[in-house]
Amino acid sequence: MADYDLVETEVNHGSADELLDTIGEQSPSGDHLQTVQAVRLQAGQPDSELRSLKQLDEDAVKLLEHQVDAAYRALFEMDGKALLADEVGLGKTIEVGMILKEMHFRETDDSVLILTPAQLAKQWQGELLEKFGLEYVCNYDEEFAGFDQHDHIIASIDTAKSDRHRATVLNRDWDVLVLDEAHYAKNEETDRYDLIDNLSYQYAFFLTATPIQNELTDLYNVVSLLRPGLFGTRDVFHHYFVNSNQETLVNREELQDRLHKVMIRNRRADTDIDFTERTIDTRTFDPSPKERELYQAVSDYVRGAYSENQGQKLVLMLLQKEVVSSPAALKGTIEKRLDDQSELSHTEELESIRDLIDSIEMVTKQEKLLSIVEEARDHVEMGRVIVFTQFRATQREILNRLAEEGYTVHSFHGGHSSQEKEQIVENFEESGGVLVSTDSMSEGRNLQFCNIMVNYDLPWNPMRVEQRIGRIHRIGQKRDVFIFNMALKDTVEEYVLERLYHKIDLFQQTVGELSSILTRLEESGTTFEDEIFERLVNADSEVDLENDFDAMAVDLQEQRDLAEKLEEFNSGVFEGFDLGASDD
């Protein structure tokens, strides 16, 4: 490879006449040295620095040294084409956020396309807005009108490659392309690879913690998308860098030199990220006989209605979630269904559910919540606790009850203006007490001053759970964190919690691990929520249901093991690689 000599080198000597003509000219003293200095400045690199950093809201995002360094190198040392391959949990999204912010500041981001796995698109959108003040439209937004109608787009890669959009996506010259989980585009025979290969862009940032999935060719493919020709042809790459058994690298030093031009990989061990301890306390409670009866009635109704008409899946799923959150949350939806003319066949069933709701006087979860916040009041500074629920009606009930008991309460939901939201968080910090929030509490909120969180009900989407935990357990949290999970026995909530979330150690995952598991799951074409719901309504018996959930847990565990193995494999391959900042 050292004597790779395909192209000619031609050396020309530029004319010296212009310079020689100035000999003998009289010019004022001092001028010449200024000219020398001007020539030197002209040849120098502009003082490249991340000038937008000063504009960032320090409360919204805390930048770490390795992230700033990665953003800087990607922009200025790699000419805006980089593979960001930090190990899991080191904040690759933040690195891209900084890059995009800087490009926005320098006005080099007229058109940006961010391609992500479907499940992560909205999360990207939220993070860029909250942490960096960057507004992107997502292909799941109502206002999304096509890839030629917006300049800053976050889209699922599969939407972008679909027949409907592909031509529009390819027909445009993008300034910046961001590709999350880039290893999913590593196979050159797939539509995804083909899409990226044909896209026209000036700058590109690819993200992956595991550039190598199965074999070292993956690395070749991903890098060649970014910097065609860096490794020469596939055959040359193979002969020169890969041991014939495919598992080890040879000529590592040269490979490192090449990779250094395009890849940044920070390792957890080399950064100063230090998370405090996290304690999980899952509490399951016996529902009252009335609550049990209500749960059964709703589950029966959902199962029956779904078997008749699968088109109403979303609303039925909602009912199943609401019934374990609170009777109040359920009531609104039941009443809406009663008003709905198409539901005539189930009127009686729905009416009896409504009656059951009305008959419940004491809500078990509410009572149990009181003992948790009471404990907190005695042990934690200003008794600060955050209670998360998915539903506004549940939120109202909790707030009323806590206020009745004399607690200082704060309410946070999506209906507030951003200014109001700021104020609420500020009040919570200053006066303590309990903040009851819906999941509209976004990632950017800085709540590290609180270290106790209650999951009053549980989202069926593990990303949501992780996001909730991430509000308080993040870089900058100095105390140990306590997470309380509340669930009613023998309900879907207990299954999800005990059989799924605990099995995959959801509550102990390091930040970011989950997304790689879920993305792998997404490959199989279903969402987590769908899986749960289908199992719930299709099980013939209690035993069936338990077996079903166990089977899902096994799947998840497999995905998790796979993700872990890959991470280990990549660590092994890149071991001894110093891909940190160049010192030349």
Partner 1 sequence: MTDAALSITQSAVEQFTEQYLTEVGCTVQKDGGRWTVIAPEGAETEVLNGEISLLCGEPSSDLGENERELHPESTFFQELIAEASERSPTGRIILTSEGTQIEMPPWIQQSDVEVATATFTPYYDRTAVVFLYRIGIETVSEYQTELLRAIAVDTRSTDPLPKLEDTFLQSVSSPAPIEASPVDFERSEARNLIEQTREVVVDRVQPKIDEIHQEASRAADAEIEEYRQLQQQRIQELQEKTTQLSSRIDDLSESIQQSNTQSERMQALEKRKEIKAEYEDAKAELEKLRHRRDQGFPEKQQEIRERHALEVVVTPLTVTQVEYERGELELELEKQGVAQSLTIGYGNGVGVTDEMRCDSCNQLLTEDNPVQEIGAGIRCSQC
Least CB distance to partner 1 at residue 104 (A):
13
Least CB distance to partner 1 at residue 267 (A):
27
Can you give the binding site for partner 1, defined by CB under 8 A? Answer: 4-16, 18-20, 22-47, 51, 79, 224, 228-236
- Which residues make Cβ contacts (< 8 Å) with residue 90, sequence separation at least 6? 64, 66, 67, 266, 268, 271, 273, 512
28 vs 311, beta carbon nearer partner 1: 28
Give the per-residue SS3 of 424-437: HHHHHHHHCCEEEE
87 vs 102, beta carbon nearer partner 1: 102
Least CB distance to partner 1 at residue 224 (A):
7
Instruction: Give the whole-angstrom CA distance, residue 294 versus residue 278.
Output: 35
Least CB distance to partner 1 at residue 8 (A):
5
Q: Distance of alpha carbon 477 from its chain centroid, rounded?
A: 20
Least CB distance to partner 1 at residue 61 (A):
20
25 vs 58, beta carbon nearer partner 1: 25
Least CB distance to partner 1 at residue 18 (A):
8
Main-chain phi, psi angles of 404, to 5 degrees: -60, -35
27 vs 419, beta carbon nearer partner 1: 27
26 vs 524, beta carbon nearer partner 1: 26
Question: Long-range contact list for 51-58, CB < 8 A, 24+ apart?
Answer: 51/102, 51/105, 51/106, 52/98, 52/101, 52/102, 52/104, 52/105, 52/106, 53/98, 55/101, 55/105, 55/133, 56/101, 56/131, 56/132, 57/131, 57/133
24 vs 289, beta carbon nearer partner 1: 24
Instruction: Give the whole-angstrom CA distance, residue 374 versus residue 488.
Output: 20
52 vs 570, beta carbon nearer partner 1: 52
28 vs 525, beta carbon nearer partner 1: 28
CA distances from 189 to 160, 170, 192, 218 (A): 17, 18, 8, 12
Beta strands 173-179 and 200-207, pairing class: parallel
Least CB distance to partner 1 at residue 226 (A):
13
Q: For residues 240-277, b (16+ Cβ closer than 10 Å) or e, as one string?
A: bbbeeeeeebeebeebbebbbebbbbbbeeebebeeee
- Tally of CA atoms within 13 A in the half-sphere of 136 that contains its CB: 32
Least CB distance to partner 1 at residue 48 (A):
9
Least CB distance to partner 1 at residue 55 (A):
10
Q: Which residue has the tokens 């590592």?
A: 252
CB-CB contact of 206 with 83 (8 Å): yes
Q: Which residue has the tokens 């009108």?
A: 145
228 vs 311, beta carbon nearer partner 1: 228
Per DSSP, the three-state class of 174 is: strand
